Structure 1
């Protein structure tokens, strides 16, 4: 009986052991199967993500993401992006009539004249590391409309009478095709207004003041060449003052033959429109008669090299001059500001109340002189005193290549150049980013 019980117990233990082993192998098989399933799922996920097209990618001009090679080519590195607070910008791909159409044929002036910052900034942004191809990741939206390439057949000057209607049509396009304009009423959208009175889109100040900034742009960010201290209707909008466009290639070519340390045999230089008898145009006098006053007072003064007619190679004259006069025209700013700095000639700014571009990067007080419009009769004495005292120090400050670079736009973004300075300024306006405001609202920090 005991033997039988013992055999029964052994049999039971043996059966229990086999059952446990069977369960162990069953669990081990399920575990292996589960591991394989997870591994295959992960592989499948990455395979799908890798080939998934970017949302709304058909709205971009370039189909390729900016790469590390491109960053190196543009003198950028990943740490440089910290300068822009992680900002991302989406560039709308508008129909050709808003931009590319103006570049067709032999219209080289469109991308090289003094208002061409609108073209240069667009080109540089297209290959910039801050650009995103996914609009839902964007902090800001760039709307590339070229309004300054419509040259007058009468005088050859840019005619911007169509600007307001062209920009309004562009806004109608992006607001009907995408949700981003309507959700922020355009407050995170960026435009360029690189002409006389900027966001007012008029060449005559009285018209510009009376009409002001178009209603459809009043919530947006405007990159404009116009800027003055104090109140003015044409800067009653969120804006950044940018320099007028001067071709970096032309500056480089001039510096090869006339380096900044070369001989400067011209004491004071100006070439440009100067009226012998001021003409009354729409109730205003050109340059507020300042240029006429300069011509009358110093036209026969041997120290002053004043010329009224155009000369294609006039940059070579700037490179020979110690002081370059930069009086206002219709608007206070002038391309002479950039050309003088780039070519080592001390700019003499005669434009009351002007706000100058990128003051954080360009030490204007150390590289230029300012003379009040009412004081041009004493201009000669001012320049003589500076020449006898601190001209050498000012010229030394002008030779800093970083100063020159900050005012010149290139086809790509290079650290410290004019488009770089624009991005730094825009990164200070990220409080307008709908994406970031939404994160704060949702409690995501």
Structure 2
């Protein structure tokens, strides 16, 4: 039978069969050696676990590796990010046995946690700090969320933009100002109000701010708010338009703030410095704002993922009281304390790292606040009493905070108001300590009763409740507000409080709420060099113009008042609105 088979197949056919068999055996042996499971058939047909290389990092299109700035220095586990069929992001955790387990997102809208204790050190750094429970929180990558419902009048292109899902991995942080040349306006020794307005507009059109590392669902609110503010309907009633740069936009922005804004307040901090602000004296603005912000139930949220802004509640006054060494002339320990605080916040929470603090803000009235925060909090929205262009104030980002002198915390509205214009017989009044270089020049030019219409004094004799000082403000047409050691002065708000037209003599001072108010409609600005000509400048103002300015001072007064319980358009809401407004217009979506 064997001979019959040999005759049935030619020699060439037998050789072909042997060759096919040899190839098959070779393939089997090759796969046996190469596949990690040790079985070629298993590797080809198994639906079981997927092999994982030993060195596994976050991968994806245009991926960027993680930093070593995490809490655990040891490296035992690694993690990758995967995208499921529904485009929701989940974590894959590689255990010690080399197998992968799929970790489901426990709640829609929440960020998936990875169970690894640390991640490989990489050259390119993106800090992703751990959550409170000790597990690594993959904060930069959020699952896609349903698009925000839009009003019927929102253009279709905006709707498409808002519904765009976030990228798989966050790109490196980009600071737009690095590409934008510094404005030539700052080359001037003295910036006029027109110069400031020009810079403000330019920074709104092309904001020098951070592009977020990763997208957040609250970003859609900011994009929508900007669109609605820019297309605000004409003002019909409620506000006196001449007081504002654009009354329609201000009203629409204020309404959107009431509807949308959520603020998260950090609870950490040394109690000597954080959460215990002064409520009386010339630094009361930071105290009253902190007190009313922390007790607010409308704007404050306990869920940081829904916050548009993050409040750093430190008191610049209490920082100086607690840490400054008298006569040391050094602020290094104060700056170091703030640096440690920011480091703690950025390590404990992921929110600072998303924008390097661009969606964080603080309110500070001490003269030293600009220099103490210009580096470690440079990206924050800084609400500063010492709003000096030459000290790094950024138009469109920072906020000029009104310096308010509160004499009685129990009754901040005591003695408000003043005489009508017809009964204000004194042309101009000033009294105060000779701080800085400017006030001695003012006293030299107009003090010592040189002119009966110019009541310019040094320190006035003490009287009960400072009655003499208040009476002069209540009966003068113009109240002189010269700078002291720094550009700011509480007399600006005092003049408005007592319905006296403020005369601001302070070069490069950014007046409060500059992004909202039209200051030239109710205040007079005099260059420092023009002090010898001060009386002629005031006399050149027509009487009708003075009456109109006085009326406008009374109307704008509502924006500069502290109330035990905040009221619409009052000082608390104006500060918060300016912070909100700047955040909306400085935000640059991914």
Structures share a fold, TM > 0.5?
yes
2:478 partner SS: strand
Contact 2:283/2:404, CA 8 A, preserved across alignment: yes
Show the 5 A alignment for 1:173-184: 173-184=344-355
Match of 2:302 in 1: 133
| Larger relative contact order (CA 8 Å, sep ≥ 6) | 1
Candidates 338, 357, 365, aligned match of 1:186: 357
Question: For residue 379 of structure 2, what is the aligned residue in structure 1?
Answer: 219
Query: How far 1:160 sits from its partner (Å)?
Result: 9.4
1:245 aligns with 2:433: no
Change (3 A) 1:144 1:412: farther
Q: For 2:322 and 2:471, how far apart are their aligned partners in 1? A: 28
Per the alignment, residue 56 of structure 2 pairs with none
Instruction: State the shift of 1:399 in Å.
Output: 1.9
- Partner in structure 2 of residue 268 of structure 1: 428
By how many angstroms is 1:374 displaced? Answer: 1.0
Partner of 1:330: 485
Are 1:420 and 2:580 matched, yes or no?
no
Which blocks of at least 5 consecutive residues in structure 1 are unaligned?
1-54, 57-78, 104-109, 202-212, 275-285
Deviations along 1:15-55, whole A, 9 cap, x unmatched?
Answer: xxxxxxxxxxxxxxxxxxxxxxxxxxxxxxxxxxxxxxxx9
Conservation of the 8 A alpha-carbon contact between 1:90 and 1:135: yes
From 427, 449, 454, give the equivalent of 1:304. Answer: 454
The answer to whether the 8 A contact 2:272-2:322 is kept is no
> Which residue, 273, 280, 303 being the options, matches 1:112?
280
- Once residues 429 and 362 of structure 1 are traced to their aligned partners in structure 2, the CA distance between those partners, rounded to angstroms, is 14
The alignment status of 1:166 with 2:353, answered yes or no, reads no
C-alpha distance in 2, partners of 1:81/1:142? 21
Whole-Å Cα distance in 1 between the matches of residues 396 and 580 of structure 2? 17
**Please, which runs of 5 or more residues in structure 2 have no aligned partner?**
1-130, 133-252
For the Cα contact (< 8 Å) 2:370–2:392, is it kept in 1?
A: no
**Cα 1:214/1:298, change in 2 over 3 Å:** closer
Residues 366, 167 of structure 1: alpha-carbon distance in 2 compared, 3 angstrom cutoff: same
Aligned residue runs from structure 1 range 346-425, under 5 A: 346-359=501-514, 361-386=516-541, 388=543, 390-400=545-555, 403-425=556-578
Root-mean-square deviation (Å)? 3.6
> CA–CA distance in 2 between the matches of 1:223 and 1:354?
14
Report the CA distance between 1:189 and its aligned residue: 1.3
Instruction: Specify the alignment match of 1:291 in structure 2.
Output: 439
| Separation in structure 2 between the aligned mates of residue 175 and residue 411 of structure 1, nearest angstrom | 34
Aligned to 2:313: 144
C-alpha deviation, 1:270, in angstroms: 0.6
Structure with the higher fraction of residues in helix conformation: 1
Question: 2 CA distance for matches of 1:152 and 1:160?
Answer: 14
Q: Aligned partners of 2:440 and 2:534: how far apart in 1?
A: 14
For residues 339-391 of structure 1, the C-alpha deviation after alignment (integer angstroms, 9 at most, x for no partner) is: 10121111111112321111355332121111111111111122223264522
Aligned residues: 327
Summarize deviations over 1:382-404 as a string: whole Å, max 9, x none.
2223264522222122221xx11
Does the 8 A contact of 2:370 with 2:391 survive in 1? no
Aligned-pair CA distance for 1:406? 1.2
